[in-house]
Structure 1
Amino acid sequence: MLEVKETFQERMKRVTAWLGKTCVTQAVQDLIVRSSYEELANLFYRHAIGDWGLVADDDWQANNEALNNSGRVISSYLFAGVKIWIITEANREYTTALLPSEY
């Protein structure tokens, strides 16, 4: 049996497909100069694999249920020392990184 190993790019595409189009607000874009695109991409990846970051336990459970019920999914992380949210809309068309104050 031949084992086919997927490339990192193929794995990222497969894992993040349910996120839809990824977007950032201007405030998060401004934070990139204090951090990096790679760190932000890592947070989108964590969101995609179900690591919801700093959310409360009840929100963690709600996110897990939303994956099966087509609900909105929200995660929270520190990015450049600032709390950000990453939200995937219920219709899975968009996933946006934003500051909580922008919600």
Structure 2
Amino acid sequence: MAHSSRYHRRHSKLLFPVGALIFSKGVDRLMREGRLDPMPFFQRHARGDWGQVSDETWYANNAALKIDGQLNSFYVVTREISLSIMSEADRSATMIRATVGTLRPLLPLSTDFRSPVPVSHFFHRPGA
């Protein structure tokens, strides 16, 4: 039992302060409808599991942890729902946004991880 609790404490540690947790209107609506629990994805983000992002974004996020840069994650929840999570460089807030439909992330985004990239830049409609 002691080993289990040590494992839980070590793997439940957040890598950075998350600040205010902000849900978009879409996330709020999906939660109220019972279609989404964003917390497991938020926990993954806060522990350094960036989800379905490019290697470039993964490495940029890891570097941003050391220099207080913006952190971006992307998770496919279902065929129709995906989440993007962005923590501000100053760690004052973490925003969770949902996309419903057939959107896919545009990756890689940028080679300059220090400049903020709006979460809306993560998406591209196929055929657009």
Bigger RCO of structures 1 and 2 (CA < 8 A, at least 6 apart): 1
Short-chain TM bin: 0.7 to 0.9
The answer for unaligned runs of 5 or more in structure 1 is none
**What are the within-5 Å matches in structure 2 for residues 23-62 of structure 1?**
23-32=22-31, 33-37=33-37, 40-62=38-60
Aligned equivalent of 1:66: 64
Q: Which has the higher helix share?
A: 1
- Greater Rg over alpha carbons, structure: 2
Cα distance in 2 for residues equivalent to 1:78 and 1:31: 15
State the TM-score, normalizing by the size of structure 2. 0.62
The answer for unaligned runs of 5 or more in structure 2 is 100-118, 121-128
Percentage identity across paired residues of the two chains? 29
RMSD (Å), alpha carbons: 2.9
State the TM-score, normalizing by the size of structure 1. 0.75
Task: Find runs of 4+ consecutive structure 1 residues off by over 3 angstroms.
Answer: none
Size of the aligned set, in residue pairs, is: 96
